[in-house]
Amino acid sequence: MSVAHRILYVEDNPANYRLVERMLRDQGYEVLHARDGFEGVRRAMEERERLDLILLDINLPGMDGYETATKLKALPGFDRIPVVAVTVNSMAHDRKRSLAAGCDGYIPKPISPENFPDQIRSYIRGRRDRIQPADERVYLREHARRLVDRLESSLTELQVTHERMRHGDKLATIGEMAAGFAHELNNPLASISASVELLLARTPEDSPLRRHLEIIYRNAARLQRLASGLTSFARPSDGDRVILSVKEAVEEAVLVTQHEFRKSHISLVVEIQPGLPPLEASPDHLQHALVNLLRNAAQAVRAKLARDPDAEAQVLVKVALEGDRIVVSVTDTGIGIPPEFRDRLFTPFFTTKPKGQGTGLGLYIVKQIVDDLGGRVEVRTLLGQGTTFRLHFPPAREGACA
């Protein structure tokens, strides 16, 4: 009794596979299936001793048919197994390209039910299509270029993956150190809070110092909360969200940073549209994002002044409703951001600041906070002229009150 010939068909389209399988089974063939080039190579290696033919679609996901044919023909023992391209790529150069890549034959789609069985039998019996040497040289060079391009693309993907893993390791290290930092920070913060509380008890309500003491007290409490969950600096959580006034959040962030602006002789201008809807957010996280942006803006302007002491020194904070979004923008007249750095602004641990002056987490944290609130960050910058960061926030749900 004769043993049925075994054929492996590498095809990602289930309908195409079922059509060919029915035709081949009706002719007495045993048909195996692989859905992409990687699975095709694996199955071919497993069945090598029992395979009589490999049918190969060219337009495969991942590793395409050209690469799969080249890979198969480079494996020991596959010189005896014909590899035949079955593809909709039906131009003359597609046939030559397939043969140059390592295929032994070429059957264009749509498949002819009348001719297909005879074509299959002829390849199993030893038929091998040939390509002229001159054409082979042309298409081999093209194929080599394509393989090099794919290799470069794969190397780039590996580098990106490596960077992400490296950043993940750094963020994990921060998490491990957080508990120790929190313990060291909480003790002095508790003393500060207690001292300010005593000072508040002795400061008259109408004293101009009282508001500054209240700010110190609130920020000491905020730092205590942040210290308790220090890992949020690597990936902020939703926190305890409340309905809050964007106006008050911005004004408090300005108060926290205004000394830095005065000391550097930088004008800080704030424009807030009246009647803004409230925002649902964690006050600590929102203030953290705003303070980061304000301090970055101040540093950018200082860098500009170091080069040109007569340059305009201003940071403008604007808050307005644009369409259905609350937009907080921070615009500086600083040095701007070089084009080569713009795609990496929100990458953790990336910084353009001098060594020791930045962790590279500031803008990463800002983006994480805004993303967590369902918003987005937009950057506009001109080298030598300044930068604007625009934070787009969805308002609080209808009916909420600040």
Q: What is the mean pLDDT of the chain?
A: 83
Residue 73 included in any domain: yes
Residues 241 and 216 in one domain: no
Do 179 and 272 share a structural domain? no
Confidence tier at 351 by pLDDT (50, 70, 90): low
| 80 has a pLDDT exceeding 70 | yes
Range with the lowest mean pLDDT among 64-73, 382-391, 392-401?
392-401
The answer on 260 and 114 residing in a single domain is no
pLDDT of 215 reads 84
392/293 same-domain check? yes
* Average of per-residue pLDDT across 296-302: 92
Is residue 183 assigned to a domain? Answer: yes
pLDDT at 1: 41
Q: By residue range, what is the domain housing residue 183?
A: 147-234
| Domain assignment present for 1 | no
Residue 31 phi/psi, 5-degree rounding, is -120, 125
Number of compact structural domains in the chain: 3
Domain-ending residue, one of 131, 164, 182: 131
Task: Mark 176-212 as b/e (b = at least 16 C-beta within 10 Å).
Answer: eebeeebeebeeebeebbeebeeebeebeeeeeeeee
Q: Are strands 83-87 and 53-56 parallel, antiparallel or unpaired?
A: parallel
Q: Answer yes or no: do 278 and 157 share one domain.
A: no
Judgement on whether residues 330 and 395 belong to the same structural domain of the protein: yes
Do 201 and 270 sit in the same domain of this protein? no
Spatial separation of the C-alpha atoms in residues 18 and 348, rounded to whole Å: 49
Query: How do residues 192-241 score in pLDDT, each as one tens digit?
Result: 877 888 888 888 888 888 888 888 888 877 776 666 554 444 444 445 78
pTM, rounded to two decimals: 0.47
95, part of any domain: yes
| Residues 194 and 222 grouped into a single domain | yes
In a domain, 117, yes or no: yes
The per-residue pLDDT for 239 is 56
Q: Is the pLDDT of residue 23 over 50?
A: yes
Q: Is residue 136 part of a domain?
A: no
pLDDT beyond 70 at 140:
yes
Single out the residue of 296, 290, 292 nearest to residue 249, CA to CA.
290
Does residue 282 surpass a pLDDT of 70?
A: yes
* 249 and 260 inside one domain: yes
Give me the residues paired with residue 243 across strands: 280
| Res 260: pLDDT | 84
Structural domain includes residue 359: yes
DSSP 329: E
- Domain end, chosen from 202, 234, 266, is at 234
Of the three residues 234, 269, 284, the one that is the final residue of a domain is 234
Counting Cα atoms < 13 Å in the Cβ hemisphere of 360 gives 15
Using 50, 70 and 90 to split pLDDT, how confident is the model at 330? very high
Q: Do 224 and 253 belong together in one domain? A: no
**56 lies in some domain:** yes
User: In whole angstroms, what is the distance from residue 117 CA to residue 114 CA?
Assistant: 7
Higher pLDDT, 260 or 362: 260
241 phi/psi in degrees, rounded to 5: -80, 140
Tell me, yes or no, whether 63 and 123 share the same domain. Answer: yes
Query: Does the pLDDT value for residue 284 go beyond 60?
Result: yes
Q: What pLDDT was estimated at residue 90?
A: 62
Residue range 7-25: mean pLDDT, rounded:
93
Q: What is the pLDDT of residues 161-173, one digit of tens each?
A: 555 555 555 555 5
Q: Give CA–CA dist 56/64, Å, rounded.
A: 10
What CATH number is associated with residue 165?
1.10.287.130
Q: Indicate if the pLDDT at residue 301 is higher than 90.
A: yes
Q: How confident is the model at residue 350 (pLDDT cuts 50, 70, 90)?
A: low
**Which secondary structure element, helix H or strand E, spans residue 330, and what is its range?**
strand 325-332
Q: Are residues 158 and 190 in the same domain?
A: yes
